[in-house]
């Protein structure tokens, strides 16, 4: 089996979990171990952990609409240079451009709606693919 390469999605490792908040935590340990093994520092690891948590929560709550019969597919590859994580849900997709800015004065006190913004702030690249069913996140090994 080819060594996982962040620039070749055919080589990515894959973890599929049930779409529950409990199961959504499971890929984190494996991915962060891989990140650690490739020499990522604490700030970069913090960023990846935060973005992954937000992507998984969005997949369970919004993408899969809290349906435990649906699943989440996580594919990832880590090198010494960068980590790429792709989270895919079974939902109908969404348009990220329609998500309101949570820092707008009239939305600042809303309790939800910050996940997408945090993913964008903490990762070096975030792309929504297949009508938003899949989020691609890249983090460079930078600290």
CA–CA separation, 54 and 115 (whole Å): 5
CA–CA separation, 49 and 60 (whole Å): 17
Question: Least distance (Å) from other proteins to the CB of residue 10?
Answer: 31
The structure tokens 């494996």 sit at 30
Fill in the per-residue mask, 5 to 44: x = in contact with other proteins (CB under 8 A), - = not in contact: ----------------xx-xx-----------------x-
65 binds other proteins (CB under 8 A): no
CA–CA separation, 28 and 130 (whole Å): 23
Strand order in the sheet with 13-18: 13-18, 71-78, 82-88, 134-140, 125-129
Our CB check for other proteins shows the closer of 53 and 90 to be: 53
**Which of 46, 68, 127, 143 lies at the binding interface for other proteins (CB under 8 A)?**
46
Positions in the binding site for other proteins (CB under 8 A): 21-22, 24-25, 43, 46, 49-50, 53-54, 57, 60-61, 102-103, 108-112, 114-115, 117-118, 121
């Amino acid at each position: 089996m080819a060594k996982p390469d962040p620039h070749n999605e055919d080589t990515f490792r894959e973890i599929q979990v049930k779409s529950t908040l409990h199961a959504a935590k499971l890929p984190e340990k494996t991915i962060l171990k891989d990140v650690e093994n490739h020499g990522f520092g604490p700030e970069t690891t913090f960023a990846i952990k935060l973005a992954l948590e937000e992507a998984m929560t969005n997949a369970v709550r919004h993408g899969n609409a809290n349906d435990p019969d649906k699943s989440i597919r996580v594919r990832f590859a880590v090198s010494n240079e960068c980590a790429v994580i792709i989270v895919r849900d079974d939902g109908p997709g969404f348009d990220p451009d329609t998500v309101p800015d949570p820092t707008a004065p009239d939305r600042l006190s809303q309790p939800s709606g910050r996940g997408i913004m945090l993913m964008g702030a903490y990762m070096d690249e975030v792309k929504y693919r297949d009508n938003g069913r899949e989020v691609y996140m890249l983090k460079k090994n930078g600290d």
